[in-house]
Structure 1
Amino acid sequence: MSLARLMLILPLLLCLILFATGVPRMAGWVADSGTLLVVVLGAGGALLLVLAQVFNQGRIGHMALLVLASFALQHYGLPAPGVAYSGPAYWLLFWLALLLPLNIVLIRWLPEYRPWSVGALSWPVLLLVQLVLVWAVPRSPLFVDAYSWVQSWQLQAGGGGLPLPAWMSATLAAGILLTRLPRQPDTVLAMLGVLLLQALAFYFAASAGAPLLAALLSLLLLLVALLIHNHQLAFVDELTGIPGRRALLNDLRHRHGRYTLVMADIDHFKSFNDTHGHDVGDDVLRLVASQLRLVGGGGKAFRYGGEEFTLVFGSDDLKEVTAEVDRLRESIAVYPLVVRNKAGRPADNRSGKQQRGRQPKDKVLHVTMSFGVALRQPGEESEMLMKRADKALYKAKQNGRNRVERAR
């Protein structure tokens, strides 16, 4: 499980636990500070919308808007806790519980825009249309037939529970969100968390403060997702999935005492791009990163830039670190990189049978790396340490490449 995924799953579970433990206490909190909590919710939602605009996170902004709209409709459109739902109130709760999960799925698959850009306005307009229809239908002659259908899904006794169509909508939405989860699932997992919290809010709609608590926790979860996403953008290399140069500099800034730094460079990387294309060059970078990620001895891998990588070890045992680096060098050198023959692939099974045995085989390439190892001296700045490691790397290349050299 990736760190980004774990960083969001834990807050998601925490929010669900807080909701379960907080609902019984919300009646007292609402009685004492209900207005203040609503103000906090509105301010938090506005702040999240601004941050989403600044950081180009349209989905986060749309989700915040959906949470605020859902709470406002529940807060001002539903009766006080303990009052049975009927007529327009039941109609509103039914369609809220049915449509909200479907809107979350729609936000998930819409293109990423800034929340208030022209391209992003399609969803708020659609949301407004839904609100107008939900408000207008009970006031039209069609209300009698439509309400009869809604009434057939009457809530359980006492107003608790969700109608079957709402259960089906929430289940379908959760399944769609989890299907083909992206490599960086921060926003999608936050959407799933909001879906679960809002479903619980509808289920406990008769409990005082349940919609307010669900809305507050939903905005908190969306804020966490926004922070995680921007942390990934700032500190994780998108191509290789390992920490990037900014993360390296931040790591070195907080290291003190003696440690070992290794500069590494892919041998003849330009020839891979020139001969096989940039796609193969990207595959080479991913392959190297996947092997460097397995570094032992307490080491940590970073992509410094281009075809250069950096390893940082907390150990000052130069002999032990050099042995681990040499093991990595050898594992990379023997690892086969298969270059698929895409141009010669048959269009269908029949063509494949005719061409079988006559197509050129896929190429198998091998990548090598050179390494320069430097042990930090007392009081030495990280910039000077990196220069010494870089000189050792240059020496490794001069001495034939695919080797490890120590700095003086």
Structure 2
Amino acid sequence: MPTLSLLRALLFPAIALTSVWWLAPLTGLWTEDYQTLISVLPYLLGTLLLVLAQVFNQGRLGQMALLVMATYALIQFELQASLEHSERWWVFFWLTLLWPLNAVVVRFLPERRPLSLAGMMFPLALALQLLLIYGLTLTSLYPAVLQWSESFRAAGVGGLLPLPAWLSFSIAVALCANRLPRKADIPLAFITVIVLHAGMFYLFASQQVSALTASTSLLLLFATLLVSNHQLAFIDELTGLPGRRALMNDLKHRHGRYILVMADIDHFKKFNDTHGHDVGDDVLRLVAAQLEKTSGGGRAYRYGGEEFTLLFPSAELVETRPFIEATRERIASYQLTLRDTNQRPASSKDGKKQRGQKSKARTLNVTMSFGAARRESGESIEALMKRADNALYKAKQNGRNRVEDAV
């Protein structure tokens, strides 16, 4: 499942990279009307994305949109002349050097609304960088620094991307790719935007390449924002399973006969009271991981608290009963190790010494009770869930760690 999640997160970045690779050679063939439209498009997309990022509290996506839009505006107003001019090369050199570093800063910023006081720190930092670069031209150091920057012009591949920029972009990609989280949509989108801008600076002489790169980057960020908010609304953050809203949405669009199973962790309150909420969270993750392995077409959801749901496309309970029983037995036989945080090694050296020694950690066994109900023709969702709940209550009454069918 982690591999499948990563492949899904790679879909939009792959589309963005493929689109730019295919469209870049064609920009010179576009009519004047199309060129005018694509020149304005980054500003429209960037403004819309900033508004949505503010509404949905997606600060990093909003700040990246701001960086892309500000970069595009700087190119349009300052870098339309030949880079043979020293003044233009000065701006281009520092832009290619600092842009990926600013992208890394955005990647690791805390989530703050773009238009909040904390969120305004990043655009202020960008403005300060511009002032410092401009201020450097007024000092006695300018001739020497300019000569140093121009020493990379001919050495750069194609003469357009200086060596410091290559290093900066490589470091930025490596930092953003390091330790990708389980929900990797935003980091992968940022990596793609960085790669797109590296390509843009490398092909800087191409017509409309900056507009194409900015528009594609912003469309990718827009799609990532939609995916991210969908996950927040429909995916349970702790377990990674679809949540109650996703379950109800699926049930509303499901017709005919199917099997609904309500499942509940036995004595879950005792786990929390005895071992603490951290262990309780481990139990929930364990159960979710095992429920996700349910075969027979079963799909797992976290209904709420310690309660989960399984949904089967089968029309008969007898068909799904072996799959439910297999899941129940798999959970009951799994031993959850309780780690003593006070005995954790203080260093990797101490950890190596402890390896191979007999562990004194305690283990727990978790069990679940299941209530299964087949949807009857014309039966409402509420009635079906009530019958499944009654079957679950019956399983609890009959000793727990068992499956009961609804009547």
| TM-score bin, normalised by smaller chain | over 0.9
Deviates more, 1:340-349 or 1:164-173: 340-349
Deviation at 1:190, TM superposition (A): 1.1
Aligned partner of 2:70 in structure 1 is 69
Question: How does 1:55-66 map onto structure 2 within 5 Å?
Answer: 55-66=56-67
2:372, 2:406 within 8 Å by CA — same for their partners in 1?
yes
Secondary structure of the structure 2 residue equivalent to 1:309: strand
Question: How does 1:74-89 map onto structure 2 within 5 Å?
Answer: 74-79=75-80, 83=82, 85-89=84-88
Aligned partner of 2:125 in structure 1 is 126
TM-score normalised per structure 2: 0.94
311 and 142 in structure 1: CA distance in 2 versus 1, 3 angstrom threshold: same
Counterpart CA distance in 2 for 1:84 and 1:346 is 57
Aligned partner of 1:369 in structure 2 is 368
Secondary structure of the structure 2 residue equivalent to 1:288: helix
Counterpart CA distance in 2 for 1:272 and 1:188 is 35
* Residue-by-residue CA offset, 1:182-220 (whole Å, 9 max, x unaligned): 221221111111101111110111000001000000001
* Residue-by-residue CA offset, 1:234-267 (whole Å, 9 max, x unaligned): 0000110110100000110110001100000001
Secondary structure of the structure 1 residue equivalent to 2:342: coil
Aligned partner of 1:11 in structure 2 is 12
Counterpart CA distance in 2 for 1:352 and 1:84 is 56
Aligned partner of 2:196 in structure 1 is 197
Counterpart CA distance in 1 for 2:349 and 2:306 is 42
Matched, 1:135 2:117: no
Aligned partner of 1:320 in structure 2 is 319
* Residue-by-residue CA offset, 1:355-375 (whole Å, 9 max, x unaligned): 99x999211110000001101
1:160, 1:205 within 8 Å by CA — same for their partners in 2?
no
Counterpart CA distance in 2 for 1:88 and 1:250 is 58
Counterpart CA distance in 2 for 1:254 and 1:338 is 40
Tell me which amino acid in the other structure corresponds to 2:365: H
Aligned partner of 2:22 in structure 1 is 21
1:84, 1:158 within 8 Å by CA — same for their partners in 2?
no
Task: Give the alignment's Cα RMSD to 1 decimal.
Answer: 2.5
1:344, 1:359 within 8 Å by CA — same for their partners in 2?
no
Counterpart CA distance in 2 for 1:145 and 1:261 is 74
Aligned partner of 2:299 in structure 1 is 300
Counterpart CA distance in 1 for 2:71 and 2:4 is 31
Aligned partner of 1:41 in structure 2 is 42
Counterpart CA distance in 2 for 1:355 and 1:288 is 29
Secondary structure of the structure 2 residue equivalent to 1:371: strand
Q: Which runs of 5+ in 1 are unaligned?
A: none
Secondary structure of the structure 1 residue equivalent to 2:341: coil
Counterpart CA distance in 1 for 2:276 and 2:22 is 56
1:293, 1:301 within 8 Å by CA — same for their partners in 2?
yes
Counterpart CA distance in 2 for 1:359 and 1:164 is 53
Aligned partner of 1:396 in structure 2 is 395
Deviates more, 1:106-115 or 1:320-329: 106-115
Aligned partner of 1:233 in structure 2 is 232
Counterpart CA distance in 1 for 2:69 and 2:274 is 54
Secondary structure of the structure 2 residue equivalent to 1:119: coil
Secondary structure of the structure 1 residue equivalent to 2:39: helix
Aligned partner of 1:334 in structure 2 is 333
353 and 16 in structure 1: CA distance in 2 versus 1, 3 angstrom threshold: closer
Tell me which amino acid in the other structure corresponds to 1:284: V
TM-score normalised per structure 1: 0.94
Q: Which runs of 5+ in 2 are unaligned?
A: none
Tell me which amino acid in the other structure corresponds to 2:381: S
Deviation at 1:156, TM superposition (A): 6.0
359 and 103 in structure 1: CA distance in 2 versus 1, 3 angstrom threshold: same
Matched, 1:262 2:266: no
Deviates more, 1:396-405 or 1:130-139: 130-139
Counterpart CA distance in 1 for 2:292 and 2:21 is 39
Counterpart CA distance in 1 for 2:295 and 2:348 is 45
Tell me which amino acid in the other structure corresponds to 1:35: T
Counterpart CA distance in 2 for 1:51 and 1:348 is 45
2:155, 2:163 within 8 Å by CA — same for their partners in 1?
no
1:4, 1:186 within 8 Å by CA — same for their partners in 2?
no
Aligned partner of 1:50 in structure 2 is 51
Counterpart CA distance in 2 for 1:135 and 1:124 is 17
114 and 30 in structure 1: CA distance in 2 versus 1, 3 angstrom threshold: farther
